[in-house]
Chains A and B, each alone.
Chain A
């Protein structure tokens, strides 16, 4: 009646053994390591570089403890903490600027454990220290930019087909074209719809939600013939997707330059990006690099504008199709709205010094498309000025606006007007890492200092450990031998939970550690239920063997019900939770599941082993049982 079959015992033992093995890596601590990454994110490290790096370390008597290749980068495990910084310096010097060397910590578990996939739990930022940013991508500008580019196209199409229009401009992201009569409008509409399907052409603007377009409203009131042009929904979606993708890539490149060992850069929701940088302590630098929304634009200066027009523009009356900006000496300049080139067309950028003036410069290499456009524009606008703008959040600045002296081909451009060498370096870094397609703003920041992380780990472990010891004492005292069985089951539950968390590589946070402690307190509930049931059955006059059997049988339904309701709460936490709540939920839910195994099967196996084979039991060692009247 109370005996598990041999295979049942063996499979329980096997699960317990496996969980012990996969829980072990958590107890080996961490070893210092250096990590080599390619400057361009996603590019794999060449095997030649690896052997090169190995040689460098060997020559300088830095003893390594293993080489690990993951996701295209190489990690060298070091034996001594002191070697870490030396190794970083040496590798940076010898391997050159095309590689980023980062410090890292790797699990110190023996190689055979790693070979079978044994890893320690993945610690969240609140336990290992680091920065977490949530960034909101501002997509409103994208549409406006797209519209500005579109104007040129419409203008030339209309001109080529000799359709006359009175004016064309953009307002609140919508382009509007004003015609003299209905006939022209219809002709233009038919023509434009034919040439471009990604835009929608309509006779009147939908002023509903996009609302704020006084100029268009004004014209409508006057019964003018207006054609409005707006991006189609599919096109908008496409642009948004592209912008987010570009921002993610740019962030990847920028963070790569920061030299963070294991960054997390992910899209969250439709227009958000999460960045997590474990171990980063210089948050100011990180924020500067990540948060810089620098966009580079090249536009033509309206050199025909007279001083009086400029004065009027300063007073707020800016001519259509123009925008007013100031250069570094606070001189106002009227720029054409059309953007010739943006940072996207830049392949490479580096700081330098102008041979003639000795000024700091940035030299750019444009991509094929950029080179062509630049060649064409410079050829057509000799004698005019071209402005180079650096746009950072609300601040737009004309860095320089040189006169075009001759056609510039080949895609090599120099930007003069840098304040100093440092600025030239910063601007090149930003341009090289790519610019953002859309500006971003940090809407959530969570920073945990390194000492705080260690403290949090200690707090979590102490809470769990002392709670665990107290519960074991309590249960063993109250239920005697059965309490000891329950305690062993509880220990195995904890090991199993650690093993599962390690294998799944679920993020462990401080609330997660709290959930682990709580699991200890709650998992014992199943054993309490069972033990109380067994006592009940003995009270009812059953034999010891029958009581064990009935106790487990009757408690099972209750345990299932109560655990499922707890699971429902746990799942809700997981689904709706973010950050700390999610961390709590993962451990909570897994803890409930592992407790079902350990509290029921493991404890039963122990009871069976001890009592199952005995023919005659006078009394179960389950503590004193008081008789009740029934």
Chain B
């Protein structure tokens, strides 16, 4: 069985203006939502407390809200979480009540209504910790970008490196744009997914660029556009298969992973889908636009030692 019975190369590069337009529009949209709506940061970053409570029967949210009013905190959110028996309570950071006391106070207040519940999870983060986690996250993204540019510059050349990172950031911005638009909660686990996508989607670009380099060697008479079209077409089957299997696993996580892994899997799904698009329609056109041709890869070809087969 083969999915792609393509006899001739698909002229991907012909559509590069069209795809550039799409990319720029989605990019602008993503940025727009990021600035207009902002990310819905979880307690990991903002500080605050979330408490997950599981009731034996359907939970009465109004009753819980009413009872929690006695804590005298503004902005206590009470909502269902997954099922109607599970309740998620969000409390903001407060100067008067320390983190340690807060969860116990909520526990006491809830006990007033009866003991048919179990506290399943408490996450309390002080504002200072939140800021640090945020800073570290930003640092990690920066580190990955620099690391990838350096490695790819060494292995290929700077045009490819830059293109790959731009294609990469494209995916990341779009994930963030989705999270801003839908106001999905952005927490540490989602950040892990975003960073994983950074590593994963650069894979895509690398595989295609590898083919481009090989083609430059083989197809000496072909134009740069032809070389790229051939490279993309010939790696299509692999691209689809790899993404399909990764997406299969991510779907499995969406189904079985529960609430905690839900947004994590969502971020990965968006990353995987846009990863396919960006490696084909962002990475290559970018490299083309930056002026990649036979000659500037020739150097790295002759320097490069033939890699050994294992």
Binding site for B on A (CB under 8 A): 134, 136, 283-284, 287, 291, 441-449, 451-452, 455-456, 459-460, 462-464, 466-468, 470-471, 474-475, 477-478, 510-511, 514-515, 517-518, 520-522, 524-525, 528-529, 532, 535-536, 549, 552-554, 556-558, 560-562, 564-573, 575-581, 584-585, 588, 600-601, 604, 623-629
Contacts and interface: CB of A to CB of B under 8 A. Distances in A.
Given A452-B121, A536-B234, A524 B245 contact: yes
A470 B203 contact: no
B237 interface: yes
A585 B120 CA distance: 25
Interface stretch (B31-39, B176-184, B251-259, B288-296): B251-259
B123 interface: yes
Nearest to B107: A284
B143 A572 contact: yes
A444 B130 CA distance: 9
Interface size class of B (residues with CB under 8 A): 35 or more
Interface of A is mostly: helix
Contact of A572 (B104, B125, B133, B195): B195
A518 B308 CA distance: 28
B196 A445 contact: no
Nearest to B187: A580
23 contacts: A442-B98, A447-B119, A449-B118, A456-B258, A462-B257, A466-B256, A467-B251, A471-B245, A510-B261, A518-B249, A521-B245, A522-B242, A554-B214, A556-B308, A566-B200, A566-B203, A568-B147, A569-B202, A580-B188, A580-B192, A581-B188, A624-B1, A627-B7
B261 A463 contact: yes
A559 to B, nearest CB: 9
B84 interface: no
A627 B8 CA distance: 10
B100 A445 contact: yes
B199 A565 contact: yes
B92 interface: no
Contact of A521 (B234, B238, B246): B246
B132 to A, nearest CB: 8
B199 A569 contact: yes
B252 A466 contact: yes
Contacts of A552: 309-310
B268 interface: yes
B99 interface: yes
B241 A511 contact: no
B189 interface: yes
Nearest to B101: A287
A562 B1 contact: no
B255 A466 contact: yes
B257 A459 contact: yes
B194 to A, nearest CB: 10
Contacts of A455: 258
Given A573-B140, A580-B192, A623-B2, A521 B250 contact: yes
B245 A445 contact: no
B221 to A, nearest CB: 13
A447 B121 contact: yes
B198 interface: yes
Nearest to B211: A558
Contact of B121 (A448, A462, A560, A567): A448
Closest 5 A/B residue pairs (Cβ): A569-B199, A467-B249, A521-B249, A553-B309, A467-B252
Interface in B102-118: 103-104, 107, 118
Contacts of B214: 554
Contacts of A471: 245, 248-249
A157 B50 CA distance: 56
B241 A572 contact: no
Contact of B310 (A477, A571, A585, A601): A601
Interface in B161-210: 188-189, 191-192, 195-196, 198-200, 202-203, 206-207, 210
Contacts of A553: 307-309
B151 interface: yes
A576 B2 contact: no
B71 interface: no
A536 to B, nearest CB: 7
A470 B120 contact: no
A43 B250 CA distance: 49
B73 interface: no
A296 B202 CA distance: 59
Contacts of B237: 532, 535
Contacts of B200: 522, 566, 569
Contacts of B5: 626
Contacts of A445: 99-100, 103, 122-124
Given A283-B122, A447-B123, A581-B188, 5 more contacts: A447-B121, A477-B1, A556-B309, A576-B140, A629-B7
A449 B199 contact: no
A471 to B, nearest CB: 5
A284 B102 CA distance: 11
Interface in B124-143: 124-126, 128-129, 133, 136-137, 139-141, 143
A449 B119 contact: yes
Contact of B123 (A446, A459, A511, A627): A446
Interface string B1-29: 11011111000000000000000000000
A446 B253 CA distance: 23
A456 B52 CA distance: 14
Interface in B262-284: 264, 268
A565 B148 contact: yes
Contact of A577 (B119, B120, B140): B140
Nearest to B139: A576
Contact of A568 (B2, B52, B199, B251): B199
A628 B6 contact: yes
B298 interface: no
A234 to B, nearest CB: 27
B4 to A, nearest CB: 8
B137 A576 contact: yes
B126 A444 contact: yes
Contacts of B103: 283, 445, 447
B2 A474 contact: no
B223 to A, nearest CB: 16
Nearest to B256: A462
Nearest to A470: B248
A317 to B, nearest CB: 29
Nearest to B143: A572
A584 B192 contact: yes
Given A444-B125, A588-B196, A549 B309 contact: yes
B229 to A, nearest CB: 13
A463 B118 contact: no
Contacts of A628: 6-8
A601 B148 CA distance: 26
Given A441-B98, A518-B249, A625-B2, A568 B120 contact: no
A17 B236 CA distance: 37
B107 to A, nearest CB: 7
B242 A451 contact: no
B152 interface: yes
Contacts of A624: 1-2
B249 A579 contact: no
A554 B144 CA distance: 27
A255 to B, nearest CB: 15
A459 B256 contact: yes
